[in-house]
Amino acid sequence: MELAERDHVHAQLLQQLVVVPQASSIVDAFYAWMLKRPAVAAIIEGRFDPARLKRSQIEYLLSLGINFHTEEYFERRLRVGLAHAGAGVPLGLTQAGFRLMEQLLIDHIPTDRIDAPTRDTLIAFVIKIAALDFALTIESYHNAQVRSLEKSVQSLRREGGRLYRQATIDVLTGVATRRHVIEVLQKGLRLAQLNGRPLSLILLDVDFFKQINDRHGHSVGDRALRGIAARIKGAVREADEVGRYGGEEFVAVLPDTPLAIACEIAERVRDRVASAPIHCEGRMLNVTISLGLAQAAAKDSVDGLIARADGALYCAKKQGRNRSMVEQEGRYRSARSKTSAVRARLRPQIETVASDELSAARAEKGQRPLS
């Protein structure tokens, strides 16, 4: 602002000739002009006491330019910006107020008590000190706005996260909502058909769940569903998506998974649920589930794939529950037999590897290899 040491003298002269004797009239003229503006009146009316605002403005003027090089001076001007930002005063209105005050100070410089060069010097000082004050006000105003925006962004992110969880996570069970898991299935099916990769689907339904609600109440039923959902989630892989399809029915989308592996996973899920009673409000509930599986075909739609898995689920229920059934080319068979076939196919490889490892271990110990 090109303020120099000699400007401390100019600050004292400005106070002596202009501010101290005429502060009240300057402030009155300031508010008389500002309050004619609807935007200013809307901010002040009902929220601030005009008399108190005038007293604050007079105090501000009585410190104008005094020790302008100190931290205390800077801090006081920075607080002005924070106050304006907090009150919601538009930045343009703040600038207009500084420009008006600058002009009023210049207009109140007496012409009959000082010579022209001194008056010009005082005018130059008023312009410089007003520019300094305005710059400090703008800096703190801007920082306050940035902090406010950052808080708003954080709040929006939190709210966005909450809404996302609400839209994608089933509140009762903690697994995906039906809408979200169907979206995952749609995307996975498109990708699988585009890349020629396998995708399998499992529909799961809790056996005799209505009896749990009828005998123990819906509160126990809800706790049982949460426990079942947790066991299902614990039995599938990280890449698999589990969702609540409706009521006591769940769905699991298994990307990059052929039917044989899906059978392994389905049996693991079924065993995990049935392996131990579920603790619900002091009760021990033995719960089982029935599962239906299908692998996506080249021309499958989402509804078609679900219908095929649902047919396998219906077959599992019909054949006695607590079992996994597979749909393939319109026929149904037990997933357990499919699982056994996979294990049988892999057993020679496993036994060969195990034999080689044992022979290597015996050789290291100097023992004769097994014949």
Which tokens belong to 151? 């808080």
Q: For residue 248, indicate whether it is catalytic.
A: yes
Catalytic one of 248, 249, 267, 327: 248
Quick check: 22 and 101 in contact, CB under 8 A?
no
Q: Buried (b) or exposed (e) across 239-261, using 16+ Cβ within 10 A?
A: ebbbbbbeebbbbbbbbbbebbb
Quick check: 129 and 64 in contact, CB under 8 A?
yes
Quick check: 295 and 308 in contact, CB under 8 A?
no
Which tokens belong to 208? 């005799």
CA-based torsion, 258, 262, 265, 271: positive or negative: negative
Cα(303)–Cα(319) distance, integer angstroms = 24
Quick check: 58 and 29 in contact, CB under 8 A?
no
Query: 20-34 vs 50-62: helix axis angle to the nearest 10?
Result: 140
Which tokens belong to 161? 């996260």
Which tokens belong to 361? 């271990």
- What's phi and psi for 129, nearest 5 deg? -70, -35
Q: Which residues are catalytic?
A: 248
